[in-house]
Structure 1
Amino acid sequence: MPFVVTYPLQWLLSRRPQWHRYLHALNRQWARLFIFMWGMPVETVRKQPLPAGQPCVYVANHSSYIDIPLLFRTIPGWLNIMGKSSLATVPLWGPIFGSVYITVDRDSAVSRGRAMVQARRTLEAGRSVVIFPEGRIGKHPGQQLDEFKDGAFQLAIATGVPVVPVTMPLNHRFMPDVNGLRVRYSPLAIIMHAPLPTTGLTVADAPALKQQAYDIISSALRPEAGGIPEASTWRQPVAKKTPEPVRERTSA
């Protein structure tokens, strides 16, 4: 409902790049309202203040459809975010997302290269960028991270901006990535870890920076809350009756 109510204004603000800043502010507000209306308590932990006036590369684990709204709600400032290209095909919201934020086809080297160029221009313009270094929703959400890609860390080193690891350990319990829509009551949590400086690093340091971010994000997962919640059982399919066998009459 928050999206539908604000959609006409979002569509209007998406028409011109100079209005995108205001569109992101609107997105942050509807994301806040969206999460509030679900009635989910949110635990927000900030390990250390963010660098004032400094763009950052935020790297977060990816486990749920609620990840982007929760990041919009929590991270301050005018953000850019890198999402999969299929988001741009979602009715109504997709074209707006595709025109304002960065979309990438993870299976295309050309698309990945273009997305990184857009991300670098964003950072050089003083805006922060959010990237999911797993590339897609993980195979074992809440329990184990998928392997990280190098791009986010090479980007941060090339532009000299800090990397901020972000852990969202419970999102998959609330709105998991399954066929159809599955929603379960579950408190949410987001942990903003201390920024990792990149000053003085070279591209040769990217693997070590990647591993450091991986370990930090992984350390705040809650394995006891891992796994996808089961499908509802309140409406079980009606069992089909087995037809009785036909008895043939035989004459002696």
Structure 2
Amino acid sequence: MSRAEGPLAERLRAIREAPAGPGTVAYFDYDGTVIDGYSAGAFYRKRLRELDVGPIELVRTVLSGMRGIRTDDDFREFLSITLASWKGHSEDELMALGRELFKAEIAGQLHAEVWTLVAAHQEQGHQVVMASSATRFQVVPMAEELGADRALVTELEVREGVLTGRAAGTTLWGPGKAAAVKDDAATHGVDLDVCFGYANGTEDVEFLSTVGHPVAVSPTDSLRAVAAERHWPVLDCEPRGGLFPTVPDIARTAIFYGGMLGGLATAAGAGLLHGSRRRFVDMAGSVGADVAFGLAGIDVDVVGAENLVSARPCVFVFNHQSKFDVPIMMKLLREGFTGVAKKEAASIPVWGQLFWAADVAFVDRGNTTQAREALQPAVDKLRDEGISLAVAPEGTRSPTPRLGRFKKGAFHIAMQAGVPVVPVIIRNAGQLMWRGAQTIREGTVQVVVGEPIDTSEWVPERAGQYAEQVRDVFTRTLAAWPGEDAR
């Protein structure tokens, strides 16, 4: 069943039919609802990696996990284990840790369907509020990324700038969350009968019962039974994978990279036979990607494929969520292209040689006083050799579907070389291989290639403005994906 006709589409219709404006609030539970898993696990795993968990604490944690959390007392006991390790640390320290773990791990657990729901609520002018029994350090980084208006969390006691190891007041587990939502609605003058609530566990039945539009998101079996009895809608999200990949995912990844290496070996032989490094690069990109995608059973659905060849040489700019983006670009562009890397990368053992073999253009990013000279190697590839460039203007992988700020380098290169810019918008690479993952999940990569953008009238002084204009093309395309009700 496609997204356009399934449960997600029904939820989106309900959002659009609700009263517009800030008088409607969408309250989202966090662990298990917004993310596939539990944010506390990321904090605990970091401590395990750093051997910062003693045997008594380890036994207490295991026993608590085996018993499960069924009551507020159970949750307080589990929370006390975590808070004991945080005692004496400042709020700033733990918020910095929370942001670090969010980027490295937690963001990759975000349910794509929830991202879509939040966007739909925001389009209607609704307030979005996170309501979680977790702490501020776990919830706030995701709340900021989602653009939430505020977060209701279990607050911690602080004295003289450091944590005491105790909760401050009522925890937001079970009835505490329901009470916090009621207080929040009263504070902001909101009628809960028009509001939405999203949660996954039975402990949140009371919370869901407070709103007029409750939704069970990837619910536990017990909440699913309650939802069926009360005729609440259910939205099952696609699993996000996780720290422990499935055997099929491991096998698929091995097959994929095996195919890439096979294509690389074939390309190396052809390159030696013809005495051409360019021949090697082109075959490695096309044959290697075709074999890898074919063996792994991963499809690529492209809209606007004609724009991949109509304006070469050009600068292809693509959004960057995953290590998988590079193979995707190899399969799309096939030949007559290369990438850009910082000059220092040429000296990295092994990688430097591979970059050289791939005909990468090395630029001196530290040369800010002579920017034109720094970009000249990339310009030469375009203007003198007719080789197109593929550049990720965000500069680094985004931890969620949100686009990062576009840097100006790619647009300066296009201006100096006098070539067009072609946007390549990749929708879901992060779902097949999230930012921190080492394995590839099955699925179809969705791509829109935009029309070439003429740069002949561009001037260097307005490079930042051009970068924003191109970023807007990505934003609009992602907001209204062809052929689907993507928002």
Q: When the two structures are superposed, what TM-score results if normalisation uses the length of structure 2?
A: 0.40
- 8 Å contact from structure 1 (residues 102, 118) kept in 2: no
Identity, in percent, stands at 22
1:197 corresponds in structure 2 to 454
Are 1:214 and 2:471 matched, yes or no?
Answer: yes
1:128 corresponds in structure 2 to 388
Say which SS state the counterpart of residue 182 (structure 1) adopts.
coil
Unaligned runs of 5+ in 2: 1-257, 482-487
Say which SS state the counterpart of residue 196 (structure 1) adopts.
coil
When residues 32 and 48 of structure 1 are mapped into structure 2, their CA distance, relative to the original with a 3 A threshold, is closer
Residue deviations 1:20-53 (CA, integer Å, cap 9, x gap): 2211221211112111222122111117645746
**1:1-252 paired onto structure 2 within 5 Å:** 1-11=258-268, 19-27=276-284, 28-46=286-304, 49=307, 52=310, 54-75=312-333, 77-83=335-341, 95-102=353-360, 109-110=366-367, 116-124=375-383, 125-140=385-400, 142=401, 144-178=402-436, 181-221=438-478
2:394 maps to amino acid: E
User: If each structure's helix is expressed as a fraction of its own residues, which one has the higher value?
Assistant: 2
Cα shift at 1:223? 9.9
Give the Cα separation in 1 of the matches to 2:347 and 2:302. Answer: 29
1:95 maps to amino acid: Q
Say which SS state the counterpart of residue 321 (structure 2) adopts.
coil
- 8 Å contact from structure 1 (residues 83, 102) kept in 2: yes
Say which SS state the counterpart of residue 176 (structure 1) adopts.
coil
Residue deviations 1:204-227 (CA, integer Å, cap 9, x gap): 231221111101112233699xxx
Cα shift at 1:14? 7.1
When residues 87 and 42 of structure 1 are mapped into structure 2, their CA distance, relative to the original with a 3 A threshold, is farther
Unaligned runs of 5+ in 1: 225-252
- 8 Å contact from structure 1 (residues 47, 194) kept in 2: no
Identify the range of structure 1 (196-205 vs 97-106) with the bigger mean alpha-carbon deviation.
Answer: 97-106
Give the Cα separation in 1 of the matches to 2:478 and 2:346. Answer: 26
2:396 maps to amino acid: R
1:198 maps to amino acid: T
Residue deviations 1:57-101 (CA, integer Å, cap 9, x gap): 11110111111111111125410112577698686x763234323
Which one has more relative contact order, counting CA pairs under 8 Å at least 6 apart? 1
Aligned residues: 219
Q: When the two structures are superposed, what TM-score results if normalisation uses the length of structure 1?
A: 0.73
Give the Cα separation in 2 of the matches to 1:94 and 1:60. Answer: 23
If you compute each CA radius of gyration, which structure gives the higher value, 1 or 2? 2
1:151 maps to amino acid: G
- 8 Å contact from structure 1 (residues 62, 134) kept in 2: yes
When residues 88 and 32 of structure 1 are mapped into structure 2, their CA distance, relative to the original with a 3 A threshold, is farther
C-alpha RMSD of the superposition: 3.5
Identify the range of structure 1 (130-139 vs 95-104) with the bigger mean alpha-carbon deviation.
Answer: 95-104
